Every structure is written in structure tokens, then in C-alpha cells.
Structure 1
Amino acid sequence: MTTIGNGTGTRELAGKRALVTGGTRGIGAAVVRQLLDAGAEVLTTARSAAATVPDGAVFVEADVRTRAGAEALAAAAREKLGGVDILVHNAGGGRPHAGALAIPDEEWQDALDLNFLASVRLDSLLAPGMRERRSGAIVHVSSAAVPTVAPPFLHYVTAKAALEAYSRGLASELAPAGVRVNTVSPGRTATPGGEATREQWARLDAAPGVTNADDTAPLGREGQPDDIAHAVLFLVTHRASWLTGSNVVVDGGEFTRG
């Protein structure tokens, strides 16, 4: 897929240092490319070494699901970048089950560690530096599907709902120091992980109470990684300097939030 860039024609993030978790494919890779295009120095990470790291980014192998992994990643960011001005939490995911009661305990814990606590831990390590410098932008990637609470993904959407509540609270705490915290909630997006998840869900269709809605979004197409990355890029630039505690839903109109 061709990257469409940030569309500004400027390097508005020149001199900024960014950390993007889960940035080797899909939405994360698109975010990394757009931040690089805008002039930022970018470090990204995944649980295993990947050949798909966007050109120009620094890669560190790390598992953000644990406190030790978050600490190692924060230390690497300080060593390689000298600090972090932009923090994008993109790592996340969860596989579907036949229903809420079929989700095993260990997958509840893994969903919380990956989709919620990874952000909490990494923020606690890197946001204090932003507060001291009185500048910074944090973006938590959630999911537009949170309000639907589909039983096969209840562990995932529950963790993302917690992330959204946490993000709003952190935004209030850090706002007086000039650090902005926002959330981006993607809808159905064409990514390798999303496709694999939809295939798993399709195999569950025969289970009682399980449905795999496959309607096209009202805007008439599936989202692309760059669609989400544009929203992230906007939120970390000066153009969003009056936005904090917000949740930007990028889903083509697929979901309704009351």
C-alpha cells in the first residue's frame, strides 16, 4: 500500500522525539511513517524483531505487557533519543471467543496488560519528563467498538474502555503542565492483525449468540492505516494545541457513541 504522507508539506515535528509502541506493521507502522515524514525522530517497538520497521525509525525489541518490559523500553528511549516528546500507545489486540463466559482468566489478564496497563506503566515512566519540560503529547489508541461490548471480544473492549477512562483522567492531571493526552479510536481497518482477527471471528459464527457483523461503514469503505495515522499526527502537532482529554473516533461512521 502506498503511504500518503501527512499532507502538510512541512516538517512540523522537526526536533521532536517520538516513541510508538507496536509500530512495525498496520496502524503503528503508518503512524511511524507519518511522524518521520513530519520531521520527528522515532523509536518504535514490538515483541519480536521484525523486517518491516519503517525506514528511518529506530527499533527496540520489547514486551510492553510487563513492568520490566516497560522499564526497559523507557530506558532505551532515553538512551537512544535523549527523552520523549511524543508517546503513541498503539500496541494492542485480543482474539475472539465463543462468548464472554468462554474467555479464560489468563486472556483477561493478558488483555488488561496489553491494552490498558502497558499504557499506564509506560506513561508513569515517561510522562514525568514531559511534565518537567512542560511540553508533550500522549495518544492512546483505543477502539471504536468499545460501546458495542461484543461478547466474543469482551476482554478486549473492557480493557479499552478502562484505557479511555484512564486517558481522560491523565489528561486532567497533566494539562496544567502543558502535556496533552488524547485517544484515537479506530474502526474496522485493513491491517494484517485485523484480518487475522476477523478470520478467527468468522470461524466462531456457528456458536450460539456469536455474530460477525460485516457491513461496510457508512462512508463506503474499510479504513486504511493512514486514515488512523492522520488523526494521531494531528493530535501530536501544534494544530491540536487546544485539544486534551478528547477521543477522536475514526471509523467511517460505523459505530455510534452516545
Structure 2
Amino acid sequence: MEIQQQLIRDLEGKIALVTGGTKGIGKAVTARLSQAGATVIVTARNKPDEHNKPYHFIAADLAKREDVEKVAAEISERYGGVDILINNMGANTFPGGGFSTLADEHWYQALEINLLSSVRLDRALLPKMLERKSGVIIHISSTSGQYPIWESTMAYSAAKAALTSYSKSLADEAGPYGVRVLTVSPGLNKTEAMSDFLGQLAAKEGITFDEMTQKLFDRVGGVPLGRMAEPEETAELIYFLASPKASYISGANYFIDGGNFPVVK
């Protein structure tokens, strides 16, 4: 699906960091912020495939404290800080099947990847924003944080719920200093990670990929728009919230789920 965009370069002169920015939603966000004129820094564990990439890449596993420190040090030395921080890193790579399948190590890993990576990066980069009395931090959570599926997302959902709560607390603390903090909670996005996730579940249950996709739609109560989101659609919301157009928005959690969420938000 192609989204028609008016080329407004309202992020000229801004430095943005996108974690997990080489695939899926992160890749789409990187492209959108670049299109709006931002100088974009991307972190991920593996080097991106594309050549002549329009961003500065730092290889890092942000689940490791030392890698967070490395990223912060390189950004400080090269750019002096960031104006926009998109904490997009996250993963649901933990065993399904409910509480009995999850050992302590799975819970620790879920928290390291989906919560503490963002907490540590905020702690490293937020002080410069507070000094300048400007900046935007956006945490990418998930509708799973409010609507967990015990069979497959128990640890991931708990960690994302914690991220959402932390994000609101940080917004209240940083707001008086001119720094906006927000949360975006995507629903089902048509990404490589989602395809892998559905493929694994389909293989486990002995059904086709399409059958598994429909089963997931049914499990989450249906998606009124009848499809997954394209990553570019989710990126458009994130860009808007990072832009001057959203200058009075902070502390909120935005769901982008095709109408899926089963309660009034």
C-alpha cells in the first residue's frame, strides 16, 4: 500500500535516533524521518542490507548495558545528543504455552529487550534534552501490553505493559522541562518478524500460514479494517508525534490497530 505524503521537511536540523531501525516498523520510521529532513542514527544488532543508506548506523545489542553506553558515547561525541529518540527495539521470541513454559531467564530476557533497553537509553540521552529544554521520546509498545494472549505473548505483554507505564511516568517528570514523552502501541503489522511469528505458530499447530493469520485475527477479537497495517502507516503516526505538529501532545498512548482494540480507549 502506498501512502501519499506531502514532502514537508519540518525536521530539518533535528538529530533522531531509531533503535531497531533496519527492519519492519523501525525501517519505515527511519525512512519517514529522513524524508522530513532529520539526520537519522540507527541502531540494530546486525548491519543493514542496503547500500548508500541515508543514516548513520551503529551496531549494538541494546539488551546489553555496555552496548547502550557505547551508543550513547558515540552519539555524544559525533552529534552532541539527539532531539528525537524512537525506542522501537523489542521482540517476542519467548516460548508460547503459558506460565509453565517460561523460566526465569525468559522473563529476564523479555524485560531486558522490551523495557530496560529503553530505560537505559533514555537515562543516557535524556539529560541533554533537559538541558536544552526540548526533545521528544517515543516508546513503541504494543496492543499486547493491554490485551495479552496467554498462549503466545505472556512475557512480552508484561514487559510492554511495564514500558507503557514507565513512559507515562517519564512524561510527567520531563514535561516541565520541555521534553515530550509518548507511547505508540501498534497492533498487527505486516513485518518480517510478524511473518516469522505466524509461520512458527502455524508449523506448531499443523495449519497453513493463512489459517494461522485468520486464527490470530479471531483470537484478538477481529480487525474491523480487515487487514494488518503496513509499517509505513504506523511510521506516519510516529513521525507526526515527533514533529512540531504535535507540540502539545505528551504522556499519551496511541493505539494504531485498525479498530481492533475491544474497549473504549
Band of TM-score, shorter chain: over 0.9
The 3 A distance-change label for structure 1 pair 53 and 100 is farther
Residue of 72, 87, 90 corresponding to 1:74? 72
Following TM superposition, the consecutive aligned residue runs of length 4 or more in structure 1 with deviations greater than 6 angstroms are: none
Please say if 1:13 is aligned against 2:11: yes
Post-superposition offset of 1:82: 2.6
Contact residue 19 and residue 86 of structure 2 kept, 8 A: yes
Distance apart, 1:49 and its partner CA? 1.7
List alignment gaps of at least 5 residues for structure 1.
Answer: none
RMSD: 2.0
Candidates 59, 62, 70, aligned match of 1:61: 59
Report what 1:43 is aligned to: 41
Matching residue's letter, 2:132: R
Could you tell which deviates more after superposition, 85-94 or 98-107? 98-107
> How far off its partner does 1:50 sit?
2.3
The more displaced of 28-37 and 47-56 is: 47-56
Identify if the C-alpha distance between structure 1 residues 252 and 235 changes in structure 2 by more than 3 Å, giving closer, same or farther: same
Q: In the alignment, what sits opposite 2:211? A: none
Match of 1:213 in 2: 216
> Following the alignment from structure 1 to structure 2, what is the Cα–Cα distance between the partners of residues 203 and 212?
13
Q: Is the 8 A contact 1:25 1:52 kept in 2?
A: no
Whole-Å separation in 2 of the counterparts to 1:212 and 1:75: 45
Alignment-derived partner of residue 102 in structure 1: 101
Return the alpha-carbon distance in structure 2 between the equivalents of residues 18 and 92 of structure 1. 18
Give the Cα separation in 2 of the matches to 1:240 and 1:54: 31
Equivalents in 2 of 1:15, 1:167: separation in Å? 26
Counterpart residue identity of residue 76, structure 1: E
The 1:156–1:70 alpha-carbon spacing in structure 2 relative to 1, beyond 3 Å, is same
Query: Residue 230 of structure 1 is aligned with which of 205, 229, 236?
Result: 236
More deviation in 52-61 or 122-131?
A: 52-61
Stretch of structure 1 that moved more, 72-81 or 240-249: 72-81
Pair 1:148–1:202, CA change in 2 (3 A)? farther
Question: Who is 1:244 aligned against?
Answer: 250
Distance 1:53 1:88 in 2: 23
The answer on whether the counterparts of 1:86 and 1:136 sit within 8 Å (CA) in structure 2 is: yes
Equivalents in 2 of 1:181, 1:106: separation in Å?
30
Checking the alignment, whether the CA contact within 8 Å between 1:25 and 1:53 is kept in structure 2 is no
Q: In 2, Cα distance between the equivalents of 1:169 and 1:113?
A: 19
Of the structure 1 ranges 103-112 and 151-160, higher mean CA displacement relative to structure 2 is found in 103-112
* Distance in 2, Cα, partners of 1:53 & 1:172: 41
Q: CA deviation at 1:165?
A: 0.3
Equivalent pairs counted in the alignment come to: 253
Q: Distance in 1 between matches of 2:121 and 2:158?
A: 20
The one-letter code sitting in structure 2 at the alignment partner of 1:111 is A
Q: CA deviation at 1:28?
A: 0.2
1:103 deviates by 1.5
TM-score, with length taken from structure 2: 0.90
Structure 1 residue aligned with 2:209: none
SS in 2 for 1:198: helix
Structure 2 stretches lacking a partner, 5+ long: 207-213
Q: Which amino acid letter does the alignment assign opposite residue 112 of structure 1?
A: L
Q: TM-score, normalised by structure 1?
A: 0.92
Question: CA separation in 2, counterparts of 1:54 and 1:226?
Answer: 21
Pairing partner for 2:20 from 19, 22, 40: 22
State the Cα deviation string for residues 86-109 of structure 1 (Å, max 9, x = none).
000111011241222212221211
Deviates more, 1:88-97 or 1:16-25: 88-97
State the distance in 2 between where 1:172 and 1:240 align: 17
**Aligned residue in 2 for 1:194:** 194
Deviations 1:166-215 (A, max 9, x none): 00000000000010000001110000011111222233448xxxx95234
State the shift of 1:14 in Å.
0.1
| TM-superposition CA deviations, 1:217-237 (whole Å, max 9, x none) | 201221000111011101111
1:62–1:41 distance in 2 versus 1, CA, 3 Å: same
Q: CA deviation at 1:54?
A: 7.9
Write the letter of the residue equivalent to 2:254.
Answer: V
| CA displacement at 1:53 relative to structure 2 | 7.3
Q: Percent identity?
A: 43
Structure 2 counterpart of 1:136: 135
